[in-house]
Structure 1
Amino acid sequence: MRKPERPPDLEVELRLFSTEEGGLQQSLPQGCRLPNDFGLEGEMNDGMYIFKGDPPAPGEIGLAELWLLVPERNAGRLQMGSKFYPWHERLIGEGTVREVINPVLRLQV
């Protein structure tokens, strides 16, 4: 696993659903790449997660830096508190944007 050569796009809080809620059976690996639903109809935005500390286990919350594969798809749409939903064959949790690092992504008011 190698970090991208550019700064992350977002700092996020990721809550993984417990196994009983339909979540995963185990923790995500450091550097995992997941499709994420940011609310664009019929579209996912893949991203690479680098967790601050150990990756969260099912039912836990983790902090991560997130690099989006195509950040410009969400240009001008995100702000602190924006929700998104990571997938791994199904919905596996809920994410919250803590900081928009990439200025291209910041909500234009």
Structure 2
Amino acid sequence: MSESFVVVGYEPSTTMPGSIASLLLAARRGKGLVYVGSVGTGSKDKVARDLKQQLNKARVDKPSVAIKGKNLVYARTDLIAEIEFRAWKGDRKLRHASFKGLREAADASEIYQLNG
């Protein structure tokens, strides 16, 4: 299945300087956002570098959602990513997620909505 999620930051790559290892994603729950996991596959080297530059321009000190991890970089919730994934894990995180591309800001109404 494929859905749209808000990009709330990234984990920097330790193997490819100037790039990202994974995007941090959130879905809507009520009027807020909730962290649903990360995606580290599907983007080419150039795309990963371009995403890092975009997210660095939108960098913030505090995450917009609760996220556990080290060396994470948080960003404003300006970008929407199209993500293909197999299923949901029991902890409400995406399973086998793959980045398909960014969506237009006008598509914000299409952000995945969690129930409950």
Please report the TM-score for the alignment, with normalisation by the length of structure 2: 0.30
Structure (1 or 2) with the greater helix fraction:
2
Structure (1 or 2) with the greater strand fraction:
2
